Amino acid sequence: MAPLRMKVLIVIAILAAAALIVPHTNPFVILLATRALAFSILVMSLDILLGFTGLASLGQAAYLGVGAYLTAILAARYQIGLGYDFWLVAALGMLGAAVLAALFGLLAIRASGVYFLMITLALGQCVWGLAYRWNSLTGGDNGINLQHRPKFGIDLADQVTFFYVVFGFFAASLLIMYTLVRSPFGRSLAGIRERELRMKILGYNTWLHKYIAFIIAGAFGGLAGVLWVHTAGIVSPENVVLTTSVDALLMAVLGGPGTLIGGVIGASVVLFIREYLSTLVHWWQYVLGGVYVLVILYLPGGLMSIPGRIRQWRAARSEAADTPNLAPARQ
């Protein structure tokens, strides 16, 4: 237990440090960190499926889209969600995404492996198609702009306040998802990931487990959407398109699947490269593509596996040094 508690403490310490340091940096960094936190809720939700259940989804952006469009439409059309009712809208966004996931899950959970990947892709594209073409509801290609952020006692238009609100949502999501994957339910998910047939034989209803995990992941995807649209001030089909789902998947893999917290690392690294490095150099996409390719080729456990790798390498080296050299000398 001790190493695990140690790890949790390290994560809490790093997050707390980030929460204290970021507001004292410049507005650009604050904005970037806010975006990374909002998006990493989506990445963590995907990690529940990918890392803990073994289902690689290529349509997670659909749930972000539901949360984001719901928030934007309510705010832009009906002025709902700009005061204390922001909390109501956040809950609605989660609920809406969960309902969609419940619907999509009926189709998707039947498949596994690469077929699951493709069916989630198809379902994600359905949502994108509606966002892109249903002009009267979604504003089509232009999307929907939000004039200002909610104000309830505190004013979210203030960058630092908003950063703390998103940070709060992020921390709460992380805590809930962590509790979930550590629970008996989460353990059964891991069992399904390792070997579904065995779980079935043991009497688990694996379909139901996967279905519930899918709905929970969808709900958190919706929350990420609610926060994302207030961060960006706009929602457009670009947020729902295949590349956004692909991004989320790659971020989860980059950080380390099955770690949850790896999601925030993956999201931060990618957003840093995309939004900061891209202002410095024009070849930033080579860096992004290169990082992906190298991590997939050489670090299947993602960036989170680096400390473990180093420890292993050190242990192997000290062991090699301790072992007396018994090989006969070359003649």
Partner 1 sequence: MDARFWLIQAFNGISYGALLFLVGSGLSLIFGVMRIVNLAHGSYFLLGGYMALSVIWVTGSWLLAIPVAALTVAIIGLLMERLFLRPLGFDPLRQVLLTVGFAFLFQQAALDIWTGNPFDIEPPAALTQSVVVGGLHLPLYRIFMIAVAVFIGLTLWLVMEKTRLGATIRATVDDAQMARGVGIDTSRIAMLIFALGAFLAALGGVIGGAFVGVYPGLDFEMLPIAFAVVIIGGMGSLGGAAIGALLVGLADNFGKALFPEISYFTLYAPMALILAVKPTGLFGRE
- Footprint of partner 1 on this chain (CB under 8 A)? 56, 104, 106-108, 110-111, 113-115, 117-119, 121-123, 125-126, 128-130, 132-136, 241-243, 246, 249-250, 253, 282-283, 285-286, 288-290, 292-293, 296-297, 300
Element (H, E) at 101: helix 86-108
CB of 19 to partner 1, least distance (A): 31
DSSP structure string for 187-203: HHHHHHHH-HHHHHHTT
Q: Least Å distance between CB 137 and partner 1?
A: 8
Over 213-230, what HEC string results?
HHHHHHHHHHHHHHHHHH
Q: Which is nearer to partner 1, 150 or 266 (CB)?
A: 266
Q: How far is the CB of 283 from partner 1 (least distance, A)?
A: 7
Residues 65, 225 contacting (CB under 8 angstroms): yes
- 81 vs 218 by CB, closer to partner 1: 218
Closest of 180, 257, 185, 187 to residue 220, by C-alpha: 180
Question: Of the two residues 110 and 314, which places its CB atom closer to partner 1 in the complex?
Answer: 110
What is the sign, positive or negative, of the torsion defined by CA atoms of 108, 114, 117, 122? negative
Residue whose tokens read 């238009």: 157
Cα gap 164→98, rounded to integer Å: 25
Residue pair 158/165 in contact by the 8 Å Cβ criterion? no
Cα 199 from Cα 192, distance rounded (Å):
6
Give the span between the Cα atoms of 243 and 282, in whole angstroms.
20
**Cβ distance to partner 1 smaller for residue 34 or 259:** 259
Q: How far is the CB of 51 from partner 1 (least distance, A)?
A: 11
Contact 255, 266 (CB under 8 A): yes
Question: From CA 65, how far away is CA 49, in angstroms rounded?
Answer: 18
- The smaller minimum CB distance to partner 1, of residues 170 and 214, is found at 214
Output the smallest distance, CB 312 to partner 1, in A.
20
Question: CB of residue 94 vs partner 1: minimum separation in angstroms?
Answer: 23
CB of residue 72 to partner 1, shortest distance in Å: 18
**Nearer to partner 1 by C-beta: 28 or 283?**
283
Q: Would you mind telling me the total number of residues written for the chain in this entry?
A: 331
d(CA 116, CA 305) in angstroms, rounded, equals: 26
Q: Which is nearer to partner 1, 115 or 152 (CB)?
A: 115
